[in-house]
């Protein structure tokens, strides 16, 4: 279902001719909060049998020894630790010392689509920009149009497309757009082969050679 939704968003925004300018300045502060798909480890000092690894379900709930289901979605790691400790204190333990570690983050991702080596989600980290995200996906394919990259972001409940000229970014002429969790980076295919674009740029007065055929 999520894949279908992403496809519809890309189809709706990738061809937009009216694009927003990428926001400037530094990325806004980001505080990680647990969400569905995140894997955590819960341990209690002196209680080895209570150490447990689990994944937050689609409803944001985990099942833990002694205390059963606990909703942790939307909690910071420290808030989740305090919640688990309180639940254990209400059961059988006195002043439990709880540790909670994040093992795998799946709830906060950025999606890479189009002419990239590896399509799909990559983990979000604060300060992630378009260049770093593209590198995390293995880079762009040879057919990519780096001058017309789109970043699709939900703004006030509606998908908004931003235009990013990665060629200008790589040349140091523009600053790379920073990303937020849930952003979709779409790299379109170039309508004109890269060798032909180079030819026209280097020799604007000459016609390019015919495209080789197999």
pLDDT for res 157:
77
Residue 183, judged by CB atoms within 10 A of its CB (0-12, 13-18, 19+), counts as: buried
Residues 140 and 182 in one domain: yes
Residues 167 and 190 in one domain: yes
CB of 122 closer than 8 Å to CB of 109: yes
Q: How many domains does the chain fold into?
A: 2
Reported pTM = 0.69
CATH of the domain at 82: 3.30.1950.10
pLDDT at 62 over 50: yes
CATH of the domain at 146: 3.10.560.10
Tens of pLDDT, residue by residue over 89-100, are 998 888 999 999
Q: Extract the tokens encoding 172.
A: 């140091």
The residue that leads in pLDDT, 204 or 99, is 99
Mean pLDDT of the chain: 85
Tens of pLDDT, residue by residue over 99-152, are 999 999 999 999 999 999 999 999 999 999 999 999 999 999 999 999 999 999
124: domain range?
2-16+108-199
Residues 91 and 113 in one domain: no
Residues 157 and 127 in one domain: yes
Residues 112 and 11 in one domain: yes
The residue that leads in pLDDT, 211 or 54, is 54
């Amino acid at each position: 279902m999520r894949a279908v939704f992403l496809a519809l968003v890309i189809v709706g925004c990738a061809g937009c001719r009216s694009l927003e300018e990428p926001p400037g300045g530094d990325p806004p502060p980001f505080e990680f909060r647990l969400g569905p798909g995140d894997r955590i480890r819960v341990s209690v000092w002196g209680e080895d049998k209570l150490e447990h690894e689990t994944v937050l379900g689609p409803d944001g709930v985990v099942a833990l020894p002694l205390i059963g289901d606990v909703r942790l979605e939307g909690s910071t790691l420290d808030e989740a630790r305090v919640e688990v400790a309180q639940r254990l204190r209400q059961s059988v333990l006195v002043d439990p010392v709880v540790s909670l570690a994040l093992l795998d983050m799946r709830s906060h991702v950025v999606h890479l689509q189009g002419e990239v080596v590896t399509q799909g989600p990559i983990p979000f980290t604060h300060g992630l920009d378009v260049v770093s995200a593209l590198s995390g996906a293995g880079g762009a394919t040879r057919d990519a149009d780096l001058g017309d990259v789109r970043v699709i972001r939900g703004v006030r409940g509606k998908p908004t497309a931003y235009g990013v000229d990665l060629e200008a970014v790589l040349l140091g002429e523009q600053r790379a757009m920073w990303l937020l969790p849930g952003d979709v980076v779409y790299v379109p295919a170039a309508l004109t082969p890269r060798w032909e674009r180079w030819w026209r740029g280097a020799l604007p007065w000459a016609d390019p050679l015919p495209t080789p055929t197999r």
